[in-house]
Amino acid sequence: MLTKDARFQTLMGEGTKITHWNAKLMNTMYGCIDDWLKACKQVSEPCKNGGYTQKDCSCACPLGTSGDKCENLVMSYRDALIKQLAPYTSVISTSGSVVVSPGYPDNAPSTETQYTQVFRAKKCQRAVVKFDDFQLEPRDARRKSCDVSVLEIRSDVSVPEGKIFCGEEIEKGTAFKSDKSELIFHYVNIDYTKYGMKNTRRGYKATFTTEAIPDCR
């Protein structure tokens, strides 16, 4: 299954509580909001930007808004949700950008971390990411799997899974290219602190550029 917004691919199904929009939908379907509006002596919804009146007459405001009436739109709900759930997630669209993993090279996160980097080129351009350095925890010797930290690279955004890398499996100078205009990185590492450990691996450093897609119009 693919998310429409690639930034949410690894977060799908990971939620631990009901979202604002689902709560609003359920409260609307069961008539709760109408009852609360009447009890609060409101003839119309005073809450702005997707907010709704609650039982105590205050506004339940979606992420990305501020103010008692949700009147200030600070950022989109999706951007605010990403900021809350995966703060290292980013969209990179400037050719020539140097991209590093969090804490590179000496302070990689030891707590559980996951994020997505979307490399986005213009129409009829493909994203190209060339690695200068790459070091994560190596594969498990017995299972041959990346169990501690992993970078998944998707060059074809129409499929849910990409190529998996860990250890030092990406050599300096290796370049990955998108099939179309987007190249996706999904990164995950476990909570080292749970096992009394520290993440001592460097992480990665790479450079993003673009190139023309032949015969594209």
Write the pLDDT tens digit of every residue in 61-90: 999 999 999 999 999 998 998 888 889 999
pLDDT score for 207: 98
Domain boundary among 39, 54, 84: 84
Query: Taking the CA of residue 77 as centre, how many other CA atoms within 13 Å lie in the half-sphere pointing to its CB?
Result: 9
How far is the CA of 2 from the CAs of 8, 81, 108, 127, 156, in angstroms? 9, 18, 29, 20, 12
Q: Is residue 196 a part of any domain in this protein?
A: yes
Domain boundary among 52, 84, 116: 84
Q: What is the CATH number of the domain that holds 95?
A: 2.60.120.290
- Residue 123 phi/psi, 5-degree rounding, is -55, 135
One domain for residues 93 and 71: no
Residue numbers of the domain that contains 28: 6-84
pLDDT score for 117: 95
One domain for residues 111 and 200: yes
Residue of higher predicted confidence among 19 and 17: 19
Q: Give this prediction's pTM.
A: 0.83
One domain for residues 101 and 198: yes
Give dist(CA 83, CA 68) in Å, integer. Answer: 21
One domain for residues 55 and 18: yes
Per-residue confidence band for 6, with pLDDT thresholds at 50, 70 and 90: confident
Per-residue confidence band for 15, with pLDDT thresholds at 50, 70 and 90: low
Helices (H), the chain: 20-29, 32-39, 77-85
How many independent structural domains does the chain possess? 2
Q: Is residue 1 a part of any domain in this protein?
A: no
- Which residues neighbour 37 within 8 Å (Cβ) at sequence distance 6 or greater? 43, 44, 45, 53
One domain for residues 95 and 61: no
Q: Is residue 217 a part of any domain in this protein?
A: no
pLDDT score for 86: 86
Give dist(CA 111, CA 88) in Å, integer. Answer: 13
Short-list 4, 212, 39, CA closest to 128: 212
One domain for residues 19 and 80: yes
Average pLDDT, the chain: 92
Give dist(CA 210, CA 217) in Å, integer. Answer: 16
In percent, the amount of the chain with pLDDT more than 70 equals: 98
One domain for residues 137 and 196: yes
Residue of higher predicted confidence among 92 and 17: 92
Kindly tell me the number of DSSP H helices and DSSP E strands found in the chain. Answer: 3, 13
Q: Is the pLDDT of residue 146 over 80?
A: yes
One domain for residues 98 and 205: yes
Encoded tokens for 204? 């990665």
